[in-house]
A and B are shown apart, each in its own frame.
Chain A
């Protein structure tokens, strides 16, 4: 009984403010629901309309491109950075602190800084590239051209997510017993071979968890795109969350907005499934 009593507040909260709104999201998505005027049940009309909408199709494409590229970059750079930080270097604590900083500062605010760095006229990125002779003036309009805008949001997402990968992978690296490396060294393995045949296989469990986590949070990202591009130019950087915000809140069409955000659910379900299966196996 005591056990139930202790968990009750948490359960009540999560039922009322997570499970119930989730049910409401489904109900909204199946009805013609507008801000201030609850409408009738319309079945799958919202979904049908969304799927026939070019902006939505573009959003699906953007989301997979954004998540795929950002995740790859974060994984590769994160492992590399973790390997560097695991070495015997001085100022270890300061280095870790510096590298983790982008993850701690409010994302919406640091993205403002990136916005200024990608400004159409005063971009410091372009200024530097032009003065180094890497670019001819005036350089790309980062947030005004679709491919560049996508590159910009991916860069900022990678910048923000990299510390999470690096620090967790570093913890994974620290837990690998030294004997493994010594044994590999005795067998004459080069440092590259040690990385591919000792480090990476032993990191697999940690990497799997980190990648799964990051998948759902990258896929459902809102802050970076909302501040940097608002989904533009011409919807080429919209993600599910920003499109749902635009249609459901700014446009007032809660039904369609809810239907769009529900497209995050299959990805969530997949990640939960894999995580649970993985934890059970442990």
Chain B
């Protein structure tokens, strides 16, 4: 599959967008705070050697209704439904931020649901001595620098609407993705994963941006210590929270190496 294929799957009565590209071992990707509004250089890079499948999470562009989800059981159930529908059960999973947290939660509830896990700056733990940043409470002009270590590029490539897109609808979609994250994470980004993390028996790669301004890079060790499977940490120098934007090639290479082992 050398071209990007977009199709819909039925998830619990809703139609949900799935992107697929590439050949080789299947890797599912669960997007981060802003969803997956467009096919990115990172996804393209990963699709060079893998069959990449990107199902849209609730609230993300192409995703289902997130406002019917209240507690973590609802979110895990919705994510399991989504993985089923996208034919990803048992596949290796790469997740970002809230998507990484949901991958870890799903594995904690039932570890055979995924193969290997790549968790990129996951949410889910909270340490009061170095708290996760309240990234919602940022002035609009602070958002780019909170998310990315390359704020000018991030503002241009991700926050701004793509050429020809409706600016208002782009902003609405971005706000909706952030609301979905709020629905899952408000206010401290912790839904009790610490109590379940030991149930994650999957081999796990934890990837963090050294300059993550949202979830401190020191959280990598906390996750690694809690997971029962083999857990390894890979810190990318100079990158911020949005690893797929800030270090697309290095991230894709780290994932290839880990899932290829």
A binds B: no
Give the A-binding residues of B (Cβ under 8 A). none
